[in-house]
C-alpha cells in the first residue's frame, strides 16, 4: 500500500490551493487525486471572466485562474494523478482509487483534504412534472458541451433557476447563437450574484421572472415547449398565471449539492443545512485528520474564497500530518445562528488552535435589508455591523480575532445573528 | 417469408422470441422504437408478484404463479438481477380484515406458496418503518423484485444469439391476410409471415381490431412513480402494498433490485397511448398515499420521477391465443400487471401454441445461457486489478454516481443488440441512473457512443428518433 502524508480528494480550486498551502506549511509527501483529465476542476469550463478579483486583483477567466494554482503545484513538484476516481475512503484513511494505468490502488494517508466539489440539482430531484425528452440540461452540463466541446445543446432556451451558472449560461448561449427566452426563478429573489444579473441578463434583454416555476415539460422525443406559472408564498403554482413557451431546451440552475457520498460512507458528520461536513476552526471534520474545503464543504459564489478556505485546510492538514495524534485535547465552542444566518462555517472554534484572524462564512435564508450582523460571545455583543442588503445568493463573512477570545476565557458559545441596527 | 413475426420488443415479445429460438424457425421481432424495452416494459413497479391478486381460475392467475416460479431459474440462465425479497399487503384498519383474509384465500386458490397473515407485532418487527397504525399484513415470501430492463434485454439478447432477427425503428402500419399467412406493411418496407404475434402493449387492440371482428379494447392506464436515492436503501426490505380499502387502491413502496426505493404507481386512464408524462397531481397523490403506509418516507431523496402505461384490457384479463376469425394471428394482449412477472410463462405459452400449430423442430444449437455485462464491483480486488490490466477501460470511471466504467459501456455498445443511445447505455449499464441523473456522465457517454458507432456526436440521441441531444455547433447560426 502506498503511503502519503496528505491526500487531496479532488484537484479543482480547493484541492489545488490546499496542496500548495500544505507544501508551504512544510509537508512534502502530498498527492492530488483528480477524476477529470486535467487539473482545475470545473474552472476549466468556466471560460467567462470575473475570477480572481480578490486573490490577484485582476479579472481572470476560469482556466486562467486555475492555471495560476496549477503552476504553483508544478513549481513545487507536487504529485498528482488524473483520470483517477476515488471509490472509497475508510475511516482509517485508506483511500481506494482506480484509473486505467495503475488499476485499483489503495493509499494510506495521514491526513485527507476532502475537495470533491458539488453537483447540480437535477430535474428528477426537483420533481418537475411532464415528459422526459432530450433537451433538459443542467446548466453545468450544457456549459461543458458548449465551452469544452463546441456543441450547442439547443436553440430556444428557457432557464429555470437563477443560480450563477444559469445566468452565465444565459449569456453564453446567446453569444453562441441561441435565443434565451426567459429565466424563471421559484424564489422572490435571485439565487445568483447581482453582477451576473446585470451582465448576463439585463445587458442582453433576457427577462428574469421571480416567483415563477416550470409546471410542465412537453415533447415526447425532444423538448417542444414548457409552461411557466407564478407561485404563491408557499411556492405553489397559482392557477391562471400559466405562460407557454415554445422551446427546444430547458436548462436548470436550481442549486448545487456538495458531493459527500465518500465523506458520509467514511463516517464524516454532515450538516443538514449545507449538506457539507461539520468542521471546526481548522476546517477539520469529526474524524481527526480529515479536512474539507471548497464546494464540498458549503457552496461558494466566488472561487477566491474557495482558494482562501482551502489554503487554511491545507496548512491545517500539514500540521496534523506532522503532529499525528499527539495533539492536545481540543475545545469546541459552538457557533449558533439566529434571525437570518442559516449556518456558519466553521461550526465550532477552539481558540487555542485558531489563527490570529479567523474568517467565519455564512449565508442568510432571505433577502434582508437595513439590518446589522451581530456576534455575541455568550451574552456580550462583540461585533455589530450594519449591512444595507444581504441575500441568499451572496455569501457573507466576518472575522473573529484572537483578542476577543482572550477577553472571554470562559466562553461557552458564540451566536451570530441578524438584528435591528 | 418469415415463419413468425412478433410485433413489439417489450418483455412479452422478447420472452416469446426467446422461447421460439429453441426451435428451427425463421422469427423476426419488429419494434417501433430504436431498442427493446421502450414501452410499458421499461416503466413499471419492477415487481415479481407472488400471485394472490389475480382472480382465481383466470389465465392471469395461472401465468402469474407460473411466471413467478420460472423467474428464479431464468435469472440464473440469463444473468439478470432478481431478488426474492417477499411482499407484504398491509392492512391499516381492522374493518378491512375480511378483505385481507379474502386475498389470502385467493392466493391459496391460485397456488401461491408459503403465505401467512402476520399480526401487528410480527409485521412491525419485519418492517420497522411501517406506519404505526398498520395492524396486520399478508406476507408472501415468494414475491420478488427484478430489473425490468435487465430481464427484457437478456431475453432479447439470448433470442438474437439463437437466431431471432430484430428490426428496430420499424412501425407496423397495416396487416393483411395473404395466402399462407400475413403481409405486414411497415415504415421500413413490407414483410410477410406465416404467423403474426401481437405483443404490441398499449397498441395491441389496434392490431387485433385491424384483423378481427371480435374487438378488444385497451385503455392506457398511466402510473406515476418516484425513485429515491440509494441512500434510502433498506428503508423497507419487502415490497409493501396497501390493502385496497377506504382510500381506494393504494400504491406500493418497495426496494429495487439495485438498492433504490421505488414509490408508485398512480392509476389514471388516459387516451394518449404515448402519454408517459408525470403530473403534479399524481406526484403529490403518491407522496400522500405512500406517506400513510410507512413512517417518515424519505421523499426528499427523490432522484427521478417517471410514468408508465399499463395496457389495461377492459376485463382485466390476459388475451392470449389465436384469433378465431383471423387464423395465424396470435394475440398477446392486455398484458398489464402482473405482466412482467408472467412474461416467462407467457413466452412459453405462446411458443408452445405455435410449436403445436406449426410442428416446429427443436434447434439442437440452441443455447439458453447468456452472460450479462460484467460488473467490476462484484469482483475481488485481485480480479478487478487483473481485469484493468487486460482491459484498461475498466479503470476509467464514467458514471461517478453508479460507478460505471468505460469497459461496461463498451460492452453495452458492442454486445448483441447493443446500445445505440444514451438511454440504451443507461438501461444496460445504469450509467446515468444515479443521483446526478447523468449531469456529469452524459457528455462523456455521448463521446464514447459517437466514437464506437463511428458517427458524429450530433447524431447521438437520448432514445432514438428525434431525441437528438445536440442541435449544432457554437455560432453556427450567426
pLDDT score of B171 more than 70:
yes
Q: Provide the grid cell at A31.
A: 498527492
> Which candidate from A129, A141, A177 shows the least CB-CB separation from B478?
A177
What is the spatial distance between Cα A362 and Cα A309, in angstroms, rounded to a whole number? 13
Judge whether B302 is closer than 8 Å to chain A, CB to CB. Answer: yes
List A42's β-bridge partners, or say none.
none
Nearest to B410, CA basis, from B384, B373, B356, B435: B373
pLDDT score of B335 more than 80:
yes
- CATH assignment of the domain containing B270: 3.30.9.10
Per-residue pLDDT tens for A190-206? 988 899 999 999 999 99
Helix axis angle for B97-110 and B59-78, nearest 10°, is: 70
Nearest to A187, CA basis, from A338, A367, A364: A367
Beta carbons of B314 and B219 less than 8 angstroms apart: yes
Nearest to B30, CA basis, from B209, B218, B216, B192: B192
**Which of B292, B310, B328 marks a domain boundary?**
B310
Assigned domain for B388 exists: yes
Average pLDDT in chain B:
97
Task: Report phi then psi at B33, rounded to 5.
Answer: -90, 180
Kindly identify which residue of chain A lies nearest to residue B399, measuring between CA atoms: A85
pLDDT, position B398:
97
Q: Do A151 and B474 touch (CB under 8 A)?
A: yes
On whether both B298 and B388 belong to a single domain, the answer is no
- How would you classify residue B296: left for phi > 0, otherwise alpha for psi between -120 and 50, otherwise beta? left
| Full-model pTM | 0.96
On whether both B240 and B140 belong to a single domain, the answer is yes
Q: Provide the grid cell at B297.
A: 418516507
Element (H, E) at B195: strand B189-198
Tell me the CA distances in angstroms from B222 to B39, B44, B273, B337, B358, one per residue in order.
Answer: 12, 10, 9, 12, 38
List the domain range (segments joined by +) for residue B291: 83-144+219-310
Judge whether B268 is closer than 8 Å to chain A, CB to CB. Answer: no
CB atoms within 10 A of CB A395: 18
Q: Do A221 and B463 touch (CB under 8 A)?
A: yes
Nearest to B140, CA basis, from B257, B51, B250: B51
Q: Do B465 and A120 touch (CB under 8 A)?
A: no
Q: Is B49 a catalytic residue?
A: yes
What is the spatial distance between Cα A102 and Cα A117, in angstroms, rounded to a whole number? 24
Tell me the CA distances in angstroms from A230 to A66, A151, A161, B58, one per residue in order.
Answer: 40, 32, 13, 50
What is the spatial distance between Cα B217 and Cα B196, in angstroms, rounded to a whole number? 19
Contacts of B401 in chain A (CB under 8 A): 261
> Which candidate from B277, B474, B475 shows the least CB-CB separation from A129?
B277
On whether both B130 and B225 belong to a single domain, the answer is yes
What is the spatial distance between Cα A281 and Cα A279, in angstroms, rounded to a whole number? 7
pLDDT, position B249:
67
**Alpha helix (H) ranges present in B111-252?**
120-126, 148-161, 204-211
How crowded is the C-beta side of A183, counted as CA atoms within 13 Å?
32
Surface-to-core class of residue B407, CB atoms within 10 Å of its CB (0-12 exposed, 13-18 middle, 19+ buried): buried
Distance of CA B199 to the CA centre of its chain: 14
pLDDT, position A329:
72
Helix, strand or coil, per DSSP, at residue A217: strand
Cis status of the peptide bond prior to A374, with omega within 30 of 0: no
What is the spatial distance between Cα A75 and Cα A78, in angstroms, rounded to a whole number? 8
Rg (CA), chain A: 22
Q: Do A83 and B385 touch (CB under 8 A)?
A: no
pLDDT band at B386 (very low <50, low <70, confident <90, very high): very high
Q: Do B384 and A104 touch (CB under 8 A)?
A: yes
Q: Do A100 and B277 touch (CB under 8 A)?
A: no
Distance of CA B289 to the CA centre of its chain: 24
**Alpha helix (H) ranges present in A76-193?**
123-126, 139-149, 164-175
pLDDT score of B378 more than 90:
yes
Q: Do A177 and B302 touch (CB under 8 A)?
A: no
Q: Provide the grid cell at A225.
A: 415547449
Helices (runs of H) and strands (runs of E) counted in chain A:
9, 29
How large is the average pLDDT for residues B364-392? 97
How large is the average pLDDT for residues A61-77? 98
Q: ∠ CA(B289), CA(B293), CA(B298), 5° rounding?
A: 80
How large is the average pLDDT for residues A38-65? 96
pLDDT score of A330 more than 90:
no
Tell me the CA distances in angstroms from B424 to A219, A380, B137, B433, one per residue in order.
Answer: 19, 63, 39, 12
Which residues are within 8 A (CB) of A385 and not within 5 positions of it... i.e. 6 or more apart? A372, A373, A374, A398
CB atoms within 10 A of CB A64: 16
**A interface test, pick of B268, B376, B389, B395 with most A CB neighbours within 10 Å:** B395
pLDDT score of A238 more than 90:
yes
Dihedral (CA of A279, A282, A288, A289) sign: positive
Q: Do A98 and B305 touch (CB under 8 A)?
A: no
What is the spatial distance between Cα A256 and Cα A164, in angstroms, rounded to a whole number? 10
- CATH assignment of the domain containing B386: 1.10.10
**For strand A212-218 and strand A225-230, is the pairing parallel, antiparallel, or unpaired?**
antiparallel
Assigned domain for B292 exists: yes
Assigned domain for B165 exists: no
How large is the average pLDDT for residues B186-194? 98
What is the spatial distance between Cα B125 and Cα B162, in angstroms, rounded to a whole number? 47
Judge whether B169 is closer than 8 Å to chain A, CB to CB. Answer: no
What is the spatial distance between Cα A289 and Cα A6, in angstroms, rounded to a whole number? 9
List A51's β-bridge partners, or say none.
A60
Q: Do A215 and B305 touch (CB under 8 A)?
A: no
List B166's β-bridge partners, or say none.
B29
**For strand B144-146 and strand B165-167, is the pairing parallel, antiparallel, or unpaired?**
unpaired
Rg (CA), chain B: 23
On whether both B258 and B133 belong to a single domain, the answer is yes
Per-residue pLDDT tens for A256-284? 999 999 999 999 999 999 999 999 999 99
pLDDT, position A393:
86
Chains A–B, number of C-beta pairs less than 8 Å apart: 146
Contacts of A130 in chain B (CB under 8 A): 277-278
Q: List the beta strands (DSSP E) in A355-409.
A: 357-362, 368-377, 380-390, 396-401
On whether both B297 and B383 belong to a single domain, the answer is no
Assigned domain for B160 exists: no
Beta carbons of B436 and B401 less than 8 angstroms apart: yes
pLDDT score of B423 more than 80:
yes
Which residues are within 8 A (CB) of B107 and not within 5 positions of it... i.e. 6 or more apart? B50, B51, B52, B115, B138, B140
Judge whether A308 is closer than 8 Å to chain B, CB to CB. Answer: no
CB atoms within 10 A of CB A58: 11
How large is the average pLDDT for residues B455-472? 97
Nearest CA of chain B to the CA of A381: how many Å? 38
pLDDT score of A53 more than 70:
yes
On whether both B117 and B254 belong to a single domain, the answer is yes
Beta carbons of B29 and B19 less than 8 angstroms apart: no
Beta carbons of A183 and A205 less than 8 angstroms apart: no
Nearest CA of chain A to the CA of B279: how many Å? 5
Task: Report phi then psi at A176, rounded to 5.
Answer: -90, 0
pLDDT, position A191:
86
On whether both B297 and B397 belong to a single domain, the answer is no
Judge whether B233 is closer than 8 Å to chain A, CB to CB. Answer: no
What is the spatial distance between Cα B364 and Cα A300, in angstroms, rounded to a whole number? 65
Judge whether B212 is closer than 8 Å to chain A, CB to CB. Answer: no
Q: Can you tell me which residue has the cell 447524431?
A: B459
- A 155-184 residues with CB below 8 A of B? 155, 176-177
Task: Report phi then psi at B453, rounded to 5.
Answer: -90, -5
Assigned domain for B210 exists: no
Nearest to A121, CA basis, from A272, A277, A299, A253: A253
On whether both B140 and B224 belong to a single domain, the answer is yes
Per-residue pLDDT tens for B96-106? 999 999 999 99
On whether both B140 and B255 belong to a single domain, the answer is yes
Assigned domain for B196 exists: no
Nearest to B376, CA basis, from B419, B416, B407: B407
Contacts of B468 in chain A (CB under 8 A): 134, 222
Q: Provide the grid cell at A56.
A: 490577484
pLDDT score of B246 more than 80:
no
On whether both B246 and B99 belong to a single domain, the answer is yes
> Which candidate from B437, B471, B474 shows the least CB-CB separation from A124?
B437
On whether both B246 and B127 belong to a single domain, the answer is yes
pLDDT score of A328 more than 90:
no
Helix, strand or coil, per DSSP, at residue B132: coil
Average pLDDT in chain A:
96
Q: Do A127 and B437 touch (CB under 8 A)?
A: no
Q: Can you tell me which residue has the cell 422478447?
A: B14
CB atoms within 10 A of CB A310: 32
pLDDT score of B355 more than 70:
yes
Q: Do A103 and B279 touch (CB under 8 A)?
A: no
Surface-to-core class of residue B24, CB atoms within 10 Å of its CB (0-12 exposed, 13-18 middle, 19+ buried): middle
Assigned domain for B13 exists: no
Nearest CA of chain A to the CA of B167: how many Å? 20
Q: Provide the grid cell at B367.
A: 443455447
Per-residue pLDDT tens for A98-107? 999 999 999 9
List B200's β-bridge partners, or say none.
none
> Which candidate from A100, A123, A177 shows the least CB-CB separation from B475?
A177
Assigned domain for B133 exists: yes
Q: List the beta strands (DSSP E) in B350-420.
A: 397-399, 404-405
On whether both B252 and B381 belong to a single domain, the answer is no
- B 348-407 residues with CB below 8 A of A? 381, 384-385, 388-389, 392-393, 395-397, 400-401, 403, 405
* Complete domains list, chain A, with CATH: 1-118+256-327 (3.50.50.60), 122-254 (3.50.50.60), 330-421 (2.60.40)
Judge whether A77 is closer than 8 Å to chain B, CB to CB. Answer: no
What is the spatial distance between Cα B266 and Cα B115, in angstroms, rounded to a whole number? 26
CB atoms within 10 A of CB B144: 24
Q: Can you tell me which residue has the cell 453564453?
A: A172
Give me the number of domains chain B comprises.
Answer: 2
Task: Report phi then psi at A318, rounded to 5.
Answer: -65, -40
Cis status of the peptide bond prior to B265, with omega within 30 of 0: yes
Per-residue pLDDT tens for B289-334? 999 999 999 999 999 999 999 999 999 999 999 999 999 999 999 9
Per-residue pLDDT tens for A362-399? 999 999 999 999 999 999 999 999 999 999 988 999 99
The string of DSSP letters for B12-23 reads HHHHHHHHHTTB
Kindly identify which residue of chain B lies nearest to residue A135, measuring between CA atoms: B469
Per-residue pLDDT tens for B208-219? 999 999 999 999
Amino acid at each position: 500500500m502506498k503511503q502519503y502524508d496528505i491526500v487531496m480528494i479532488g484537484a479543482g480550486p480547493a484541492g489545488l490551493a490546499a496542496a500548495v498551502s500544505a507544501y508551504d506549511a512544510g509537508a512534502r509527501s502530498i498527492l492530488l487525486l483528480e477524476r477529470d483529465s486535467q487539473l482545475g476542476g470545473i474552472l476549466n469550463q468556466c471560460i467567462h471572466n470575473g475570477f480572481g478579483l480578490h486573490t490577484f486583483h485582476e479579472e481572470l477567466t476560469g482556466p486562467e485562474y486555475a492555471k495560476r494554482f496549477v503552476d504553483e503545484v508544478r513549481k513545487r513538484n507536487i504529485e498528482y494523478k488524473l483520470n483517477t476516481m476515488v471509490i472509497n475512503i475508510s475511516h482509517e484513511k485508506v483511500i481506494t482509487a482506480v484509473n486505467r494505468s495503475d488499476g485499483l490502488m489503495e493509499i494510506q494517508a495521514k491526513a485527507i483534504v476532502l475537495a470533491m466539489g458539488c453537483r447540480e440539482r437535477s430535474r428528477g430531484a426537483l420533481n418537475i412534472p411532464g415528459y422526459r425528452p432530450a433537451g433538459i440540461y443542467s446548466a453545468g452540463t450544457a456549459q461543458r458541451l458548449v465551452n469544452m466541446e463546441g456543441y450547442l445543446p439547443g436553440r430556444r432556451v428557457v432557464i429555470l433557476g437563477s443560480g450563477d451558472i444559469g445566468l452565465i449560461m444565459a449569456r453564453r448561449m446567446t453569444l453562441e447563437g441561441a435565443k434565451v427566452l426567459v429565466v424563471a426563478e421559484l424564489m422572490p429573489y435571485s439565487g445568483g450574484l447581482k453582477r451576473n444579473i446585470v451582465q448576463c441578463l439585463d445587458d442582453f434583454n433576457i427577462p428574469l421572472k421571480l416567483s415563477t416555476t416550470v409546471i410542465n415539460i412537453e415533447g415526447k422525443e425532444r423538448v417542444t415547449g414548457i409552461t411557466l406559472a407564478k407561485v404563491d408564498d408557499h411556492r405553489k403554482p397559482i392557477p391562471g398565471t400559466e405562460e407557454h413557451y415554445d422551446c427546444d431546451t430547458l436548462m436548470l440552475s436550481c442549486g448545487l449539492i456538495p458531493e459527500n457520498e465518500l465523506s458520509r460512507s467514511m463516517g464524516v458528520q454532515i450538516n443538514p443545512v449545507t449538506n457539507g461536513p461539520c468542521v471546526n476552526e481548522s476546517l477539520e471534520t469529526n474524524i481527526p485528520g480529515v479536512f474539507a474545503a471548497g464546494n464540498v464543504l458549503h457552496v461558494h459564489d466566488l472561487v477566491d474564497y474557495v482558494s482562501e478556505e482551502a489554503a487554511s485546510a491545507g496548512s491545517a492538514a500539514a500540521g496534523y500530518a506532522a503532529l499525528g495524534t499527539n495533539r492536545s485535547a481540543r475545545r469546541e465552542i459552538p457557533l449558533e445562528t439566529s434571525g437570518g444566518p442559516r449556518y456558519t462555517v466553521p461550526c465550532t472554534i477552539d481558540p487555542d488552535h485558531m489563527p490570529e484572524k479567523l474568517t467565519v462564512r455564512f449565508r442568510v435564508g432571505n433577502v434582508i435589508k437595513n439590518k446589522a450582523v451581530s456576534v455575541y460571545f455568550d451574552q456580550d455583543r462583540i461585533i455589530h455591523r450594519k449591512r444595507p442588503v444581504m441575500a441568499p445568493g451572496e455569501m457573507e463573512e466576518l472575522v473573529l480575532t484572537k483578542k476577543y477570545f482572550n477577553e472571554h476565557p470562559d466562553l461557552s458559545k458564540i451566536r451570530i445573528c441578524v438584528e435591528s441596527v | 417469408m418469415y415463419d413468425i413475426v412478433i410485433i413489439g420488443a417489450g418483455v412479452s415479445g422478447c420472452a416469446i422470441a426467446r422461447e421460439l429460438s429453441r426451435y428451427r424457425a425463421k422469427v423476426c421481432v419488429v419494434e417501433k422504437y430504436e431498442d427493446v424495452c421502450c414501452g410499458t416494459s421499461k416503466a413499471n413497479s419492477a415487481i415479481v408478484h407472488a400471485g394472490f391478486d389475480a382472480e382465481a381460475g383466470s389465465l392471469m392467475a395461472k401465468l402469474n404463479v407460473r411466471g413467478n416460479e420460472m423467474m428464479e431459474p431464468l435469472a440464473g440462465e440469463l444473468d439478470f438481477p432478481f431478488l426474492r425479497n417477499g411482499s407484504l399487503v398491509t392492512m391499516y384498519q381492522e374493518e378491512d380484515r375480511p378483505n385481507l383474509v379474502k386475498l389470502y384465500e385467493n392466493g391459496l386458490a391460485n397456488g401461491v406458496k408459503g403465505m401467512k397473515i402476520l399480526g401487528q407485532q410480527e409485521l412491525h418487527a419485519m418492517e420497522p418503518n411501517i406506519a404505526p397504525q398498520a395492524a396486520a399484513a399478508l406476507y408472501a415470501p415468494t414475491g420478488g423484485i427484478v430489473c425490468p430492463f435487465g430481464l427484457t434485454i437478456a431475453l432479447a439478447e439470448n433470442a438474437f444469439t439463437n437466431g431471432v432477427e430484430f428490426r428496430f425503428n420499424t412501425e407496423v402500419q397495416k396487416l393483411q391476410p395473404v395466402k399462407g399467412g400475413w403481409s405486414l406493411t411497415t415504415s421500413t418496407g413490407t414483410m410477410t409471415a406465416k404467423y403474426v404475434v401481437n405483443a404490441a402493449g398499449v397498441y395491441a387492440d389496434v392490431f387485433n381490431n385491424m384483423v378481427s371482428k371480435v374487438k378488444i379494447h385497451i385503455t392506457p392506464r398511466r402510473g406515476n412513480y418516484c425513485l429515491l436515492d440509494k441512500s434510502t436503501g433498506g428503508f423497507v426490505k419487502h415490497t409493501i402494498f396497501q390493502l385496497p380499502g377506504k382510500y381506494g387502491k393504494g400504491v406500493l413502496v418497495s426496494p429495487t433490485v439495485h438498492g433504490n426505493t421505488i414509490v408508485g404507481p398512480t392509476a389514471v386512464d388516459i387516451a394518449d397511448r404515448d402519454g408517459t408524462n408525470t403530473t403534479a397531481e399524481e406526484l403529490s397523490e403518491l407522496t400522500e398515499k405512500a406517506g400513510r403506509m410507512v413512517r417518515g418516507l424519505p421523499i426528499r431523496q427523490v432522484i427521478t420521477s417517471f410514468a408508465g402505461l399499463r395496457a389495461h384490457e377492459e376485463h382485466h384479463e390476459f388475451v392470449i391465443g389465436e384469433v378465431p376469425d383471423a387464423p395465424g394471428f396470435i394475440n398477446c394482449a392486455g398484458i398489464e400487471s402482473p405482466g412482467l412477472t408472467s412474461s416467462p410463462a407467457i413466452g412459453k405459452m405462446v411458443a408452445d401454441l405455435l410449436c403445436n400449430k406449426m410442428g416446429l423442430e427443436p434447434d439442437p444449437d440452441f443455447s439458453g445461457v447468456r452472460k450479462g455485462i460484467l460488473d467490476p464491483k462484484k469482483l475481488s480486488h485481485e480480479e478487478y486489478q487483473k481485469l484493468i490490466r487486460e482491459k484498461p477501460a475498466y479503470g476509467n470511471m464514467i458514471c461517478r454516481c453508479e460507478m460505471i466504467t468505460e469497459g461496461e459501456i463498451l460492452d453495452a455498445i458492442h454486445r448483441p443488440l447493443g446500445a445505440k443511445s444514451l438511454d440504451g447505455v443507461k438501461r444496460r449499464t445504469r450509467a446515468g441512473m444515479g443521483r446526478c441523473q447523468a449531469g456529469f456522465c452524459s457528455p462523456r457517454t455521448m463521446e464514447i457512443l459517437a466514437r464506437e458507432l463511428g458517427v458524429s456526436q450530433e447524431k447521438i440521441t437520448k432514445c432514438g428518433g428525434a431525441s437528438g441531444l445536440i442541435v449544432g455547433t457554437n455560432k453556427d447560426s450567426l
